[in-house]
A and B are shown apart, each in its own frame.
Chain A
Amino acid sequence: MLHIVDDEEVIRDSLLWLARSRGIAAAAYESGNAFLASLDGKAEFDPQGECVLLDVRMPVISGVALFETLTMRDLAQRLPIIFLTGHGDVPMAVDTLKRGAFDFFEKPFNDNKLMDRVQEALAASQQAGAMAAVQTRLAALSVREREVLGLVLDGKMNKVIADQLGISMRTVEVHRAHIFDKMEVKTAVELARLLK
């Protein structure tokens, strides 16, 4: 989902149109507040990834202020921000880039390049979402399970693990089954890919 935040109706409309032509789902907001309001009612992130196209110059809440709010809420990873800057705002945009913005485009921009970056941002967001999910699952593991997980990822056989931890083969198998369960994987290869 692409979020377009711009006070200019023309810009919003043209960007929506552009996103549609590239098959990207998009929504537009006429102000930072409207966008923040939409976040408040949000249950979960789009699994396809999310991205914000943010106009720097806006009344009431400027693009930069909105960016800072999102950073403070620790949403910058899940909502990569691409700034759209007008003439003369470049130094400020570079500054935001250093502080974690995904990218910035100076108007007038090359639209398909922008859309390419939007898709990259969506992918990044998607990945960040996946990472977050893995982290959640890892958090569910017990201490012993994490030890077993580490050894499994090292590619050690159950017997070696049992010997190393001083427990029975059977116990290792139970832990292993719990780990696969909690991490929502079926095989060790799958697990290794997830935690790559």
Chain B
Amino acid sequence: MESNERQEQLIADSLWVEQTIRFQLSRDEESIRLAGNDIVAGNLSKNKFRERVATLLRNSREMRRIVWLDAHGKLVESTDDVPVSLADFSAPSRLAETNVRKTMAAQYSQPASPPGVNRPVQMDFHLPLLAGERYIGSLIASYSTASILDEMVPWWFAQDNEILLADGDDKVIDKRASGGPGRGVYTHSRALDLPGLTLTLRTNSVKSAPKLLPNLLVGSVIILSIGLLWSLWALWRDINRRLAAEGALRQQVSFRTAMENSLLTGLRARDLEGRVTYVNPAFCQMVGTPAEELVGKKPPMPYWAPEAMDEYQERFSQVLAGTVTPQFETIFQRAGGERFPVLIFESPLVDDTGKQTGWMGSILDISDRKRVEALNQQQQEKLQAGARLSTMGEIASTLAHELNQPLAAISSYTTGALNLLNSSDAQSGALDLNLLKSALEKAGAQAQRAGQIIRSVHAFVKKREPMRETVAIQALIDSVMPLVELQAHQFFVVIQSSIAPALPPVLGDHVLLEQVLLNLTRNAIEAMRNVPPQRRLLRIVADEAAATPNVVISVIDQGHGIPDDVTDRLFSPFFSTKAEGMGMGLNICRTAIEFHGGTLTHANNPQGGTIFRFSLPSQK
């Protein structure tokens, strides 16, 4: 860029110089012409000539002399004190004079030295003096090329540039190099056209090509400054970031500490050798040992219960081998010796390079949970008992009705018997003992029947622990039949039971299974409440499952069936379609059957109504 600027500057300056030279030469030309015109007009005599042109020479110092020749080339007058003849002019000048006479047009001669001397190189302006068409002489103004360069080129330009004048053949005529030789880096040539002569003005700057080093230095300083500023800014930014990061870190650390301290979960970190490297307050509180006594300790740990030592050792070796299950339950011992159940989650502790440095364990004291589980269990049992009672409530009215029958009969028989006795008293004798006996027998039979009803209910209401015993299907169905019949009777439902021959027994709790059957049959009977009496058929079918060693018992009704929208929630607790239902019946049934390792399903009965089917693993 710098070189471009310089080059342009040089070109502009060269132009200016060329213009200056041309302008000066044409002004000189003009003055000489004026003098010539005066001579032709006879206004300027030979005597006055010197005086006139001396002024000219004084003003234009590049002009060395002016010679006035007549038409024959003889000297008329000259500014030189010594007489000058045509022979004193250089050969090119003489040639130019000849041309001028011929062409009668002003002309410059090729610059050349006068004969016999080397310097100064001169360039002559030949002006023909014409009186009309007649040639009457010439005015020859001699310029020293060196003077042209010296006088006409301004010093400041010469200071910075070598200036050359070259002829048409590119031969250097003269040069000015006051500022030293040109470097040839920035150059410019400019043609200087004069009448009869073409010169070339060549400028060659003394300035060398822009130097790399200083430029580099300047550049470096600038870059370094920028760099410095940037560094300062980066530093400032870095410090800010660092401060922010530190703040965040501090916050994180305090957050984490607070978190660890407030956690109810115990945390314990161990290195690869099993040495405790960290415990949180919750863990210390859990085992009742301060952190100082735990950190750095190797197994066996103070919180290990002596009786479970083998289990710990085994698991510890698993931990070291990396084969430990990530979650397990065990017991720990508090400092006071109290044992408590814990749930441990073990996960590898990995540093930022991805290398495992130890193990992190979170320890949950699950004694509360265990307590809640136990409580839930109790609640569930209570609920089941409640449901059992509610089941009883539902059949209580049936029971009252059923008990009424034998009681009413007994009452009638005994009253009748008494009537007989009274009437025989009144009639003195004639008592039909057989009649009396049959009445009392019938009364007794009815009392037995009432007792049976009571017993069948009693066995059902009794609360007891579930047990596993061999239960024969036939016996199971037979034992619930009286109660089922009670309910069936109330709604005039016919019962059909078919039990496949040689059915293997199942292992289970007969009371639970009876309850399931009773629930299912009660549902079936109630489902048929609103169908025509001839359709009220309850079938209980027991047979062996086709592919599996299971016994399948189906309770089949022809009732209203189960709507699709109810199907999904059928086994949900507290879901009931009955106004007085608790919604526990089917839920308990399913639980009970699953307790026996079986399944309880339902399907639509092709004949209308529903089939509830449960399978029980048979005992072969």
The interface of chain A, by Cβ under 8 A from chain B, is 8, 10-11, 13-15, 17-18, 20-23, 57, 59-60, 84, 86-88, 107-112
A10-B446, A87-B397 are contacts. A59–B412 as well, Cβ < 8 Å?
no
Per CB-CB distance, the 3 closest pairs between chain A and chain B, nearest first, are A111-B415, A14-B412, A21-B419
> With A10-B406, A14-B411, A17-B416 given, can you name 13 additional A-B contacts, CB distance below 8 Å?
A10-B405, A11-B405, A11-B408, A11-B412, A14-B442, A22-B416, A59-B492, A60-B533, A84-B408, A86-B404, A87-B400, A87-B401, A111-B416
User: In the complex, what residues of B have CB within 8 A of residue A86's CB?
Assistant: 400-401, 404
For the complex, give the distance between the alpha carbons of A43 and B319 in Å.
102
User: In the complex, what residues of A have CB within 8 A of residue B423's CB?
Assistant: 21, 23
User: In the complex, what residues of B have CB within 8 A of residue A107's CB?
Assistant: 404-405, 407-408
User: In the complex, what residues of B have CB within 8 A of residue A108's CB?
Assistant: 404, 407-408, 411
Check if B405 sits within 8 Å of A17, measured CB to CB.
no
Check if B492 sits within 8 Å of A111, measured CB to CB.
no
Interface residue count on the B side (C-beta < 8 Å): 24
Q: Does residue B439 face the partner (Cβ distance < 8 Å to A)?
A: yes
A82 to nearest B CB, angstroms? Answer: 14
Q: Does residue B420 face the partner (Cβ distance < 8 Å to A)?
A: yes
Check if B405 sits within 8 Å of A21, measured CB to CB.
no
User: In the complex, what residues of B have CB within 8 A of residue A87's CB?
Assistant: 397, 400-401, 404
B331 to nearest A CB, angstroms? Answer: 57
Can you report 12 A-B residue pairs in the complex whose CB atoms are below 8 A from each other? A10-B405, A10-B446, A11-B409, A11-B412, A14-B408, A17-B416, A18-B412, A18-B416, A87-B397, A88-B400, A109-B408, A112-B419
| Cβ-closest chain B residue relative to A19 | B416
User: In the complex, what residues of B have CB within 8 A of residue A20's CB?
Assistant: 416
A185 to nearest B CB, angstroms? Answer: 37
Most buried by A among B400, B406, B419, B439: B419
The interface of chain B, by Cβ under 8 A from chain A, is 397, 400-401, 404-413, 415-417, 419-420, 423, 439, 442, 446, 492, 533
A22-B419, A59-B492, A112-B419 are contacts. A14–B400 as well, Cβ < 8 Å?
no
A34 to nearest B CB, angstroms? Answer: 16
Check if B416 sits within 8 Å of A109, measured CB to CB.
no
| Cβ-closest chain A residue relative to B449 | A10
Among A57, A60, A111, contact of B412 (Cβ-Cβ < 8 Å): A111
Check if B417 sits within 8 Å of A21, measured CB to CB.
yes
User: In the complex, what residues of B have CB within 8 A of residue A109's CB?
Assistant: 408, 411
B403 to nearest A CB, angstroms? Answer: 9
Check if A13 sits within 8 Å of B442, measured CB to CB.
yes
B494 to nearest A CB, angstroms? Answer: 10
User: In the complex, what residues of B have CB within 8 A of residue A10's CB?
Assistant: 405-406, 409, 442, 446
Most buried by B among A17, A86, A110: A17
A59-B533, A107-B408 are contacts. A14–B413 as well, Cβ < 8 Å?
yes
User: In the complex, what residues of A have CB within 8 A of residue B397's CB?
Assistant: 87-88
User: In the complex, what residues of A have CB within 8 A of residue B420's CB?
Assistant: 21
B532 to nearest A CB, angstroms? Answer: 10
B395 to nearest A CB, angstroms? Answer: 13
For the complex, give the distance between the alpha carbons of A108 and B403 in Å.
9
User: In the complex, what residues of A have CB within 8 A of residue B416's CB?
Assistant: 14, 17-18, 20-22, 111
User: In the complex, what residues of A have CB within 8 A of residue B533's CB?
Assistant: 59-60
A135 to nearest B CB, angstroms? Answer: 37
For the complex, give the distance between the alpha carbons of A71 and B406 in Å.
31
B411 to nearest A CB, angstroms? Answer: 5
A86-B400, A86-B401 are contacts. A17–B413 as well, Cβ < 8 Å?
yes
Among A8, A59, A88, A111, contact of B405 (Cβ-Cβ < 8 Å): A8
B271 to nearest A CB, angstroms? Answer: 78
A111 to nearest B CB, angstroms? Answer: 4
User: In the complex, what residues of A have CB within 8 A of residue B409's CB?
Assistant: 10-11, 13-14
Check if B415 sits within 8 Å of A112, measured CB to CB.
yes
A128 to nearest B CB, angstroms? Answer: 27
For the complex, give the distance between the alpha carbons of A14 and B446 in Å.
10
Check if A111 sits within 8 Å of B400, measured CB to CB.
no
For the complex, give the distance between the alpha carbons of A15 and B401 in Å.
17
User: In the complex, what residues of B have CB within 8 A of residue A13's CB?
Assistant: 409, 442
User: In the complex, what residues of A have CB within 8 A of residue B405's CB?
Assistant: 8, 10-11, 107
For the complex, give the distance between the alpha carbons of A23 and B427 in Å.
14
User: In the complex, what residues of B have CB within 8 A of residue A60's CB?
Assistant: 533
For the complex, give the distance between the alpha carbons of A15 and B412 in Å.
6
For the complex, give the distance between the alpha carbons of A13 and B420 in Å.
16
| Cβ-closest chain A residue relative to B405 | A8
Most buried by A among B397, B412, B420: B412
User: In the complex, what residues of B have CB within 8 A of residue A15's CB?
Assistant: 412
B338 to nearest A CB, angstroms? Answer: 58
User: In the complex, what residues of A have CB within 8 A of residue B442's CB?
Assistant: 10, 13-14, 17
| Cβ-closest chain B residue relative to A17 | B416
A137 to nearest B CB, angstroms? Answer: 38
For the complex, give the distance between the alpha carbons of A112 and B423 in Å.
13
| Cβ-closest chain B residue relative to A60 | B533
A139 to nearest B CB, angstroms? Answer: 42
